[in-house]
Amino acid sequence: MFIDTHSHLNFPDFNEDYPDVIERAKSVGITAILNVGADLSTSKRAIDIAQKEDLCYATVGVHPTNTNDLKNKDYPVLEDLAKKKKVVAIGEIGLDYFYHKVPREIQKESFKQQILIAERLGLPVIIHNRDANEDSLAILKETKAKRGVMHCFSGDSNFARGVLSLGLHISFTGNLTYKKNKPLRGVARGIPLERMLLETDCPYLPPQAKRGMRNEPSFLIYTAEELARIKGVLIENLGEITTKNAKDLFGL
């Protein structure tokens, strides 16, 4: 039993065959999929899919690299979308200093505004952070965001400690299985199971065994196997604990 807490079946990559993808996910024991919005249109698409597919939930948010186009009038639109049925989080939101597409000040302001929406609606946040550890933690502290997850974790143990001390969860993708990511596996070993989530971030980041392919929720198993090995627990137990974590955090 597993939950894919961060998937993008709402992206065009899955337009043709997402029902088949969901069937394959079911066949390996995936019991829920959260399709995560990255702008207004993919947020709406995530809600459409959630209304059609029992297994799917939606999240609403604007990814930091898309915040250039975000206008003040868009925040109430986002907030209304977030009130729809089966919307379980605000995300993905955050900071991305790797790409220099959007000025940092604009990213920070959009991050804060969207955390405030989450706080008003009592929803957790799904955070994207790349090369912005200090600023991300500072904004999370300042806004007193209490419930959420640092998605696609790839930081060091210092950053993990910072995230955990805020009360947030940490989520792992297929990149945990990459040969070069030995340090990340070391960091994962030190993170308590009770604060861990699993995700694919599909269509991106396929696990090592599926490199070069379009990633999909059924491939979550590879990351789960690796994490179970790292933590020295049975995969069944890892599934049970991370499923409970996801249900509690997102109120599924």
Secondary element (H or E) of residue 49: helix 40-52
Residue (93 or 140) nearer to Ni ion, CB: 93
CB of residue 104 to Ni ion, shortest distance in Å? 20
Q: How far is the CB of 153 from Ni ion (least distance, A)?
A: 13
Closest distance of CB 142 from Ni ion, Å: 24
Residue 79 CB partners (closer than 8 Å, separation 6+):
117, 120, 121
Report how far residue 183's alpha carbon sits from residue 246's, in angstroms, rounded to the nearest whole number.
Answer: 25
d(CA 200, CA 246): 14
Give dist(CA 120, CA 80) in Å, integer. Answer: 12
Interface with Ni ion (CB under 5 A), residue total: 1
Which one, 149 or 228, has the nearer CB to Ni ion?
Answer: 149
> Which residue is nearest to Ni ion, using beta carbons?
201
Closest to Ni ion by CB, 173 vs 243, is 173
* Sole window of 94-102, 138-146, 194-202, 240-248 interacting with Ni ion (rule: CB under 5 A): 194-202
Q: Which is nearer to Ni ion, 149 or 227 (CB)?
A: 149
Residue closer to Ni ion (CB basis): 201 or 226 = 201
* Per-residue binder mask for Ni ion (CB under 5 A), 195-224, x = binder: ------x-----------------------
Candidates 121, 113, 125; CA nearest to 6 is 125
Residue 68 CA to residue 62 CA, distance in Å, equals 10
For residues 125 and 73, what is the distance between their CA atoms, to the nearest angstrom? 21
Nearer to Ni ion, 201 or 216 (CB): 201
How far apart are alpha carbons 213 and 191 in whole angstroms?
Answer: 29
Q: How far is the CB of 56 from Ni ion (least distance, A)?
A: 15
Contact 237, 225 (CB under 8 A): no
Task: CB nearer to Ni ion: give 4 or 201.
Answer: 201
**Nearest-approach distance from CB 67 to Ni ion, in angstroms:** 15
Output the smallest distance, CB 92 to Ni ion, in A.
5
Assigned token pair, 136: 């991300």
Per-residue binding letters, 146-185, with Ni ion (x by CB under 5 A): ----------------------------------------
Interhelix angle 104-121/133-142, nearest 10 degrees:
40
Kindly give the pairing relationship between strand 125-130 and strand 87-96: parallel
CB of 201 to Ni ion, least distance (A): 5
Token pair recorded at residue 160: 């993990």
Using CB under 5 A, list all residues that contact Ni ion.
201
